[in-house]
């Protein structure tokens, strides 16, 4: 999976199309990511402990990684490529060939 935690991405399809946010969590086994403020659902939460508040809370749900594109600082949403610099593998923008 070419998208990691902390990356800035834009949603390409679905109800939140065009929304941008930071990847909070990557789930490579499922092929999904959780993006901050995207694919929000309301969940009815029961108070499990005395200190926990019950009620309706908003949660970020996972979306398929194929529905998001990494945003390059110079050229916008792009695909990701790789380049080897010595012994290190570096992610690069496919459009401008800049480092991500």
pLDDT for residue 65: 95
Please state, in angstroms and rounded to a whole number, the distance separating the CA atoms of residues 33 and 49: 29
Query: Is the pLDDT score of 69 beyond 90?
Result: yes
Please state, in angstroms and rounded to a whole number, the distance separating the CA atoms of residues 100 and 38: 22
- Domains, the chain, with CATH or none: 8-72 (2.30.30.30)
Query: Is the pLDDT score of 51 beyond 90?
Result: no
């Amino acid at each position: 999976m070419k998208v990691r935690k902390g990356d800035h991405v834009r949603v390409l399809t679905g109800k939140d199309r065009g929304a941008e946010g930071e990847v909070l969590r990557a789930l490579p086994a499922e092929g999904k990511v959780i993006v901050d403020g995207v694919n929000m659902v309301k969940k009815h939460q029961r108070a499990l402990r005395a200190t926990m508040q019950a009620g309706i809370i908003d949660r970020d749900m996972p979306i398929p990684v194929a529905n998001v594109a990494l945003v390059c600082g110079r050229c916008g949403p792009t695909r990701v490529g790789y380049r080897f610099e010595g012994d290190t593998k570096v992610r690069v923008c496919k459009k401008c060939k800049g480092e991500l």
